[in-house]
Amino acid sequence: MFRALREQFPHAHCELDFRTPLELLVATILSAQTTDVGVNKVTPTLFARYPDAAAYAGADREELEELLRPTGFFRAKAKSVMTLGQTLVERFDGQVPPRLKDLVTLPGVGRKTAFVVLGDAFGQPGLTVDTHFGRVVRRMGWTDLDDPVKVEAAIGAMFPRKDWTQLSHVLIFQGRRICHAKRPACGVCPVARWCPSYGVGEVDPDKARALLKFELAPGAVRPAGVPEPAAVR
């Protein structure tokens, strides 16, 4: 099933735009309750205005809130980002620490966010058990556990560490594009033949195809190797 998903989404990647660990950490915090596309719309201005942890630490709260307004929950997010900046300056010399045990001590950073940063900004294998990851592995019958930390341990034991980051990306792509929470597109799913949940969603291929989603901004430039939606089908 992993092989089939990898063939379906050879381009699977972190969909947040970033250049540094700090940018990815901030973008991940902002992605709560909104889409990566929505976050990517505000981050170019945000990252230019606040280039380092000290800039967030000393931000003007109202100005920061206004910048973050389109991402929703902007007051809480502004507070989180400012507190994060202050903590990084006070405890880590303004740098994002590259270790799980340090990352999870940062305000607003749980294991999921920490693994996103470790996997995509520091190149260390990590399983990112978000809502898509959990739903897809349960539907595919890989586990029946609900608790994200237990899911992480169970799935981690099934795959070599070197595959963890890519596995997370393809499962999240599968959850966003095909195996949706409400109406999964079983009729065009690459793992349908092995999936014990086949049939919980639409099985008619034409109707299933109409359910496919692609979280790309209109007119967005696709990264190299990203097929057009028609090819993904």
Name the binding residues for [4Fe-4S] cluster: 179, 186, 189, 195
CB of 16 to ligand SF4, least distance (A): 24
Q: How far apart are CA 179 and CA 157, in angstroms?
A: 23
Place of tokens 């065009």: 188
Mark whether 112 is an active-site residue.
yes
CB of 179 to ligand SF4, least distance (A): 3
Size of the site for ligand SF4 (CB under 6 A): 15
Q: How far apart are CA 180 and CA 174, in angstroms?
A: 8
When binding is defined by CB under 6 A, the residue of 64, 89, 189, 232 that contacts ligand SF4 is 189
Choices 99-107, 164-172, 193-201, 216-224 (CB under 6 A): range interacting with ligand SF4: 193-201
Q: How close are the terminal C-alpha atoms of the chain, in Å?
A: 17
Mark whether 130 is an active-site residue.
yes
- Nearest alpha carbon to residue 39 among 136, 116, 126, 122: 116
* Residue 19 CB-half CA count within 13 A: 7
When binding is defined by CB under 6 A, the residue of 43, 184, 226, 232 that contacts ligand SF4 is 184
Residue type, 230: A
**Residue 108 engages ligand SF4 in binding (rule: CB under 6 A):** no
- Nearest alpha carbon to residue 22 among 143, 140, 106, 136: 106
- Nearest alpha carbon to residue 175 among 138, 224, 217: 138
CB of 42 to ligand SF4, least distance (A): 31
CB of 156 to ligand SF4, least distance (A): 20
Place of tokens 């596309």: 37
- Name the binding residues: 179, 186, 189, 195
Looking at 17, 52, 102, 130, which residue is catalytic? Answer: 130
When binding is defined by CB under 6 A, the residue of 77, 111, 132, 139 that contacts ligand SF4 is 139
Residue type, 224: A
Q: So which residues are the catalytic ones?
A: 112, 130
> In the complex, which residues of this chain contact ligand SF4 (CB under 6 A)?
139-140, 178-179, 184-186, 189, 191-192, 195, 197-198, 200-201
